[in-house]
Structure 1
Amino acid sequence: MDLPLREIAFIGLGSMGLPMAINLAKAGYAVRGHDMRQAAMDALVDHGGSACDGIGAACSGVDALFLMVVNADQAAEILFEGGALEALAPGGTVCLMSTCPPGAVETLAERVGVTGHAFVDCPVSGGVAGAQSATLTMMAACSAELFAALRPALTVMGSKLYHVGEKPGQGAVVKSINQLLCGVHLAAAAEAMALGGKVGLDRNVLLEIVGGSAASSWMLRDRGPRLLEADPNITSTVDIFVKDLGIVMEAGRDAKAAVPLAALAHQLFLAASGAGDGAADDSQVIRSYQRLNAMA
Structure 2
Amino acid sequence: MSQKKVAAIGLGSMGYGMAQSLIRAGHETYGYDVVPDQMARLAAEGGKSAPIADIAASLDAVVVCVLNAAQTEAVLFGDDGVAPRLKRGAVVLSCATVAPDFARAMEARCAEHGVLYVDAPISGGSVKAAKGQLSIMSAATPEAYAAAEEMFEATAETVFRLGDCAGAGSAMKAVNQLLAGVHIAAMGEAITFGVTQGIDPATFVEVISKCAGTSWMLENRAPHIVAGDYKPHSAIEIWLKDLGIVLDIAKSAKFSAPITAAALQQYVTAAGIGLGREDDSAVAKVYARNAGILLPGME
| TM-score, normalised by the number of residues in structure 2 | 0.91
Q: Residues 17 and 127 of structure 2 are in contact (CA less than 8 Å); yes or no, is this contact kept in structure 1?
A: no
Counterpart amino acid of residue 129 in structure 1: V
The CA deviation at 1:255 is: 2.4
Which residue of 1 is the match for residue 215 of structure 2?
Answer: 217
Q: Which moved more, 1:176-185 or 1:138-147?
A: 138-147
Show CA shifts across 1:237-293 (max 9, x none): 111122211111122122222221111111111111111111111111011212333
**Residue 16 of structure 1: SS of its match in structure 2?**
helix
Q: Which amino acid aligns with 1:196?
A: G
Q: Deviations over 1:21-77 (max 9, x none)?
A: 122122121122222222222222223321123x42342322221111111111111
Structure 1 residue 62 corresponds to structure 2 residue 59: yes
2:109 maps to a residue whose letter is R
Name the residue aligned to 2:297: none
Aligned to 2:6: 8
Indicate the residue corresponding to 1:105 in structure 2: 103
Shift of 1:5: 4.4
CA shift in 2, pair 1:78/1:277, >3 Å? same
| SS in structure 2 at match of 1:48 | coil
* Matched length: 293
Q: How does 1:97-246 map to 2 (within 5 A)?
A: 97-246=95-244
CA apart distance, 1:6? 4.2
Residue segments in structure 1 that go unaligned for 5+ positions in a row: none
> Within 1, Cα distance between the matches of 2:48 and 2:38?
11
User: 1:84-95 residue pairs with structure 2 within 5 A?
Assistant: 84-95=82-93
Structure 2 unaligned spans of 5+: 295-299
Per-residue deviation at 1:84? 0.7
> Structure 1 200/20 Cα, relative in aligned 2: closer, same or farther at 3 Å?
same
Give me the CA root mean square deviation: 1.9
Change (3 A) 1:204 1:144: same
Aligned partners of 2:4 and 2:61 also within 8 Å? no
Of 239-248 and 34-43, deviating more is 34-43
CA distance in 1, matches of 2:109, 2:82: 13
* Matching residue within 238, 241, 258 for 1:260: 258
2:67 corresponds to which letter in structure 1?
Answer: V
SS in 1 for 2:63: strand
- Which of the numbers 22, 34, 38 marks the counterpart of 1:40? 38
Q: In structure 2, what is the equivalent of residue 96 of structure 1?
A: 94
The percentage of aligned residue pairs carrying the same residue is 34
Structure 2 letter corresponding to 1:290: A
Deviation, structure 1 residue 122 = 0.3
2:77 aligned residue (75, 80, 83): 80
Task: Describe the shift of the 1:231–1:29 C-alpha distance in structure 2 as closer, same or farther (beyond 3 A).
Answer: closer
Give the TM-score, by structure 1 length: 0.92
- The residue identity in structure 1 corresponding to 2:151 is A
**Cα distance change on mapping 1:18 and 1:230 into 2, 3 Å:** closer
Q: Does 197-206 or 89-98 show the bigger shift?
A: 197-206
Distance 1:147 1:180 in 2: 27
Kindly provide the amino acid, as one letter, of the partner of residue 262 in structure 2. L
The one-letter amino acid of 1:263's match is A
Shift of 1:170: 1.0
Q: Residues 72, 58 of structure 1: CA spacing in aligned structure 2 closer, same or farther, 3 A cutoff?
A: farther
